[in-house]
Amino acid sequence: MRSDAASAAAASLLEVRNLRKFFPIQKGFARRVVGHVRAVDDVSFVIREGETLGLVGESGCGKTTTARCILRAMVPSDGQILFRTREGRVVDLAPLSRKDLRPLRPQIQMIFQDPFGSLNPRMTVFDNIGEPLLVNGLRDRRARMARVEELVGLVGLRPEYMHRFPHAFSGGQRQRIGIARALATQPRLVVADEPVSALDVSVQAQVLNLLLELQGRLHLTYLFVAHDLSVVKHISDRVAVMYVGQLVETAAAGAIFTRPRHPYTAALMRAVPVPDPRLPSGDVALRGEVANPASPPPGCYFHPRCPFAVERCRAEPPALREVAPGHLVRCHLAEELTLPGIGADDGGELGAPAPGLSASTGPTGIRA
């Protein structure tokens, strides 16, 4: 991790170091603390300026908690969140008070999952998008109007619609309004938590295209949290995979999809059903269920489900380490394993015979 951080230090916009967020489990009348849910357990990563980092994992893996800690909607239990401000200062967001956070808030904004719940139904589109501007001191209604009009145009909505209420819009249009609101304060980092998962298939593509287009035009940096691997692959430059509160693998999108190094990442990819009946996929690659983050197993958290687990995995927790330039893995066996990915990216090293077929014959196994 350190070496990755050092090499990218110059261009990094956000660096998360050893982030932890534990929720206490209370019991009985006295609300005695009997344990902790380790929602985020030692997560470190870097987001470079202008790139998209896709954060994937199954429900309960801590991806949303990580995003909320970065937004400081939650107070992290431990760790650092180093953010490079517009002025070039590096600030640790983790220990800041609400008052100290205020001037930084405009620079980090969020796009929400649910376009129906995230807009105030009693406020017009203009008021919804203008609210962050008002809060940040743009009192002049006419100036605000001009800025909102510009934002509405930016996300592809007609300015005439500005004075309507959210209920008059479809899910995709509402998500555009939510995006306009997030962009109102000219943020540098946009945290998007499942921004397309509530949308219909035919509308998802429109919103993904919009996000890509805005990124190019406004030089935005995205932290894109999602569970859908195809969406993440489509939008991300780099991908980070989480499992039970830990980061298990992070690498460039092309590299992680063609050659995953962690057995969990590979299993996740094999489980995705491909929309082509000629490519059998959607494999049952894992037995059992996700570990309980309140009492994770000893050693590697993934070992009870891992087909390659050896004695060492049961006893010794693996560290996140660099196995190839920019490719970090939390697995003792990362070097020994050859895991199938899902190819056909621009590298194109996996050719005509459907890569899904090689995947379904199972991982090649350990060459120890």
Partner 1 sequence: MTDRAPAPVREDARLLSVRNLKAHFFLDEGVVRAVDGVSFDVFPGQVVGIVGESGCGKSVTVKAILQIVEQPGRIVAGEILFRRRSWGAEGDAGGEAVVDLARLPPRGPEMRAIRGAEIALIPQEPMAAFSPVHTVGDQVIEAIRVHQHHWRPEGPPVSRGEARQMTVDLFRDVGISMPEQRVDAYSWQLSGGLRQRAMIAMALSCRPRLLIADEPTTAIDVTTQAQVLNLLRELQRKHRTAIIFITHDLGVIAQIAHYVVVMYLGRVMEQGPVDAIFHAPKHPYTRALLRSIPSVRSAPRARLPIISGSIPHPFNRPPGCPFHPRCQDALPDKCARRVPGLVAVGEQQAVSCFLHHDVEDRA
Residues at the interface with partner 1 (CB under 8 A): 58-59, 170-173, 200-206, 208-209, 212, 227, 229-231, 233-237, 253-254, 257, 267-286, 289-290, 342-346, 355, 360
Nearer to partner 1, 284 or 368 (CB): 284
Of the two residues 79 and 355, which places its CB atom closer to partner 1 in the complex? 355
**Cα–Cα distance for residue pair 366/63, rounded to 1 Å:** 30
DSSP β-bridge partners for residue 243: 246
CB of 58 to partner 1, least distance (A): 4
Contact 144, 180 (CB under 8 A): no
Q: How far is the CB of 356 from partner 1 (least distance, A)?
A: 8
**Shortest Å distance, C-beta 245 to partner 1:** 15
Nearer to partner 1, 47 or 82 (CB): 47
Residues with Cβ within 8 Å of 303's Cβ and at least 6 positions away in sequence, in order, are 297, 309, 313, 314
Closest CA to 266 of 277, 251, 276: 251
Minimum CB distance to partner 1, residue 165 (Å): 14
Chain centroid to Cα 101, Å, comes to 22
CB nearer to partner 1: give 213 or 316: 213
DSSP classification of residue 366: B
Q: CA 142 → CA 104, 122, 147, 149, 206, distances in Å? A: 25, 21, 9, 11, 31
Taking the least distance from each CB to partner 1, the nearer of 22 and 257 is 257
Sign of CA dihedral 361, 317, 312, 261: positive
In whole angstroms, how close is the CB of 236 to partner 1 at the nearest point? 7
CB of 231 to partner 1, least distance (A): 6
Nearer to partner 1, 15 or 51 (CB): 51
CB of 61 to partner 1, least distance (A): 9
**348 exposure class (CB count in 10 Å sphere: 0-12, 13-18, 19+):** exposed
Q: Tell me how many degrees the CA angle 104-107-111 measures, rounded to the nearest 5.
A: 125
Q: Tokens 């980070």 label which residue? A: 240
